[in-house]
Amino acid sequence: MNEWFADIAFKFQLAFVEGDRWKLYLKGLGVTLQISLFAAILGVVIGTIVALMKLSVKKGGKRTFISVLAQAYIDIIRGTPSVLQLLIMWFIIMEGCKNGILVAVLTFGINSGAYVAEIMRAGILAVDHGQMEAGRSLGLSKSQTMRYIILPQAIKNVLPPIGNEFIVLLKETAIVGYVSLSDLTRTASQVSSRTFEAFMPLIGAAVIYFIIIKILSKLIELLERRLRKGDHR
Amino acid sequence: MITVKNLHKSFGKIEVLRGIDYHVKKGEKIVIIGPSGSGKSTFLRCMNLLEEPTSGEIWFDGKLITDPKANINKVREHMGMVFQNFNLFNNLTIIDNITLAPTKLKLMEKEEARQNAENLLKRVNLLEKANAYPSQLSGGQRQRIAIVRSLAMNPKVMLFDEPTSALDPEMVGEVLDVMKELADDGMTMVVVTHEMGFAREVGSKVLFVDEGTIMEENTPKEFFENPSNPRLKEFLSKVL
């Protein structure tokens, strides 16, 4: 038993303490969080705009050009692997850009935007049509009603799936190792190949992801509760 | 006040309104009745262009509002509308429901709009609900708030689309009372309803709409006591 503990302690020492390796994980986590945060913000902005684009209709009920454009964007992004999108961004579209984090933020933001767009669209459609009619009947324009009445209600509707999307996004950033960014996952794998010991670094990284996501979901839950204070259902 | 000329409206292949001509004078209370599916709600909703007419003209206050160049948002500022399902803004408190349009459309300063809203809420005895959310109110209370919200815009006309149809029977009275008060104040009103008592008591004219046309128009007394149209006779025999 003692031997087992000693072994674990040694592996822990090797994976985290020796050569101040814990600092590497911290740095990796920083990269992961930085990419996730900015990509999430970008994704929500793109997603909301694309959702509104896709929902736009002409007077006769026909789809507008920008609606078709929005659909094309969603199809392309959802129809290709995100690793491939990252590689295309890194090696082709932004070739020569030295800032890997920027490339990653753009890639994941654009990627997430397609999924957020569909979530937002569902959230907007779930708001009773009477809300728009009431706003319009008072003389508010379509965009004013959208901004003050529909979107606030839609955002409340979509918080659970948006939270889901953020979690997926955070974990998906683990592929940035493909373009030689040292995020948390890549750091763990680098440490394990340095020390020839895989258990501690990989499990350690997994635990860190788990804790971060647990905190994130708690925050989303709190926000959801705050936004729901208006309904008594 | 409102003039409707040869109004047609189709949804796809279904022709709901088949040529309606009508003139609403200032101060009149027009009550529209008719069987469900007759087009009476569509007729009302065309007046503020919530439904876009397929053809025909609608004039409001001397302006042709069916003109593609007309500023429909501006027109709607002067036409209040009350819906069957209340349609209060669920994300806003009662006071914000009432002040949103006047302030965002820059018709009133915040403080002025608030004062105005509070006065209106006093009139319907709901001032203590100012900071509640719509989901905390009963149906009757919500509909009274919806009426107040429209009044806050100082409309020239009020359109009512079956305002009591979604209410529990014991709440119908409180909403009708507010409407009667409004009528006594001289508001021009167009009301689609199934409340025959209200039509008889408040209406200056009653219209019977069926199959997309106005089949009969008369003063309430004549309308209910001497109906001439056979379909109206049949309808009245069912509902009275």
CA of B240, closest CA in chain A: separation in Å? Answer: 31
User: In this complex, do B83 and A133 lie within 8 Å of one another by their Cβ atoms?
Assistant: yes
> Structural domain tally of chain A?
1
Supply the pTM of this predicted model: 0.87
Burial class for A5, CB neighbours closer than 10 Å (0-12, 13-18, 19+) = exposed
CA of A48, closest CA in chain B: separation in Å? Answer: 19
* Structural domain includes residue A99: yes
Contacts of residue A167, defined as CB under 8 A and 6 or more positions apart, other chains included, come to A213, A216, A217
Pair of tokens at residue A53? 């684009």
**What pLDDT sits at residue A230?**
60
DSSP 8-state secondary structure symbol assigned to residue A63: B
**What pLDDT sits at residue B80?**
96
Whether residue A65 is predicted with pLDDT greater than 60 in this model: the reply is yes
Give me the mean pLDDT over the B37-59 stretch.
94
pLDDT band at B239 (very low <50, low <70, confident <90, very high): confident
Q: Residue A128: which domain range?
A: 22-232
User: pLDDT by residue (tens digit) across B82-93?
Assistant: 999 999 999 999
* Structural domain includes residue A2: no
* Structural domain includes residue A7: no
d(CA B171, CA B166): 10
Whether residue B166 is predicted with pLDDT greater than 60 in this model: the reply is yes
User: pLDDT by residue (tens digit) across B105-162?
Assistant: 999 999 999 999 999 999 999 999 999 999 999 999 999 999 999 999 999 999 999 9
Give Cα separations from A76 to A71, A84, A94, A110, A127 (angstroms): 9, 12, 18, 11, 28
Q: Which residues of A touch B136 (CB under 8 A)?
A: 232
**What pLDDT sits at residue A232?**
58
Q: Does residue A7 sit in helix, strand or coil?
A: helix
* Structural domain includes residue A55: yes
Strand partners, B7: B20
Identify whether the C-beta of residue B16 lies closer than 8 Å to the C-beta of residue B39: yes
- Indicate the helix (H) or strand (E) that contains B14: strand B14-24
Q: Does residue A58 sit in helix, strand or coil?
A: coil
Find which of A58, A133, A138, A146 to mutate to test the B interface (most B CBs within 10 Å of its CB).
A138
Contacts of residue A92, defined as CB under 8 A and 6 or more positions apart, other chains included, come to none
**What pLDDT sits at residue A25?**
93
Q: Could you tell me which residues of chain B have a Cβ less than 8 Å from any Cβ in chain A?
A: 48, 50, 52, 73-77, 79-81, 83, 85, 87-92, 100-101, 104-105, 133, 135-136, 146, 149-150, 153
CATH of the domain at A55: 1.10.3720.10
Whether residue A78 is predicted with pLDDT greater than 60 in this model: the reply is yes
* Structural domain includes residue A185: yes
* Structural domain includes residue A12: no
* Structural domain includes residue A3: no
* Structural domain includes residue A49: yes
Identify whether the C-beta of residue B50 lies closer than 8 Å to the C-beta of residue A133: yes
Share the mean pLDDT of chain B: 95
Give me the mean pLDDT over the B8-35 stretch.
94
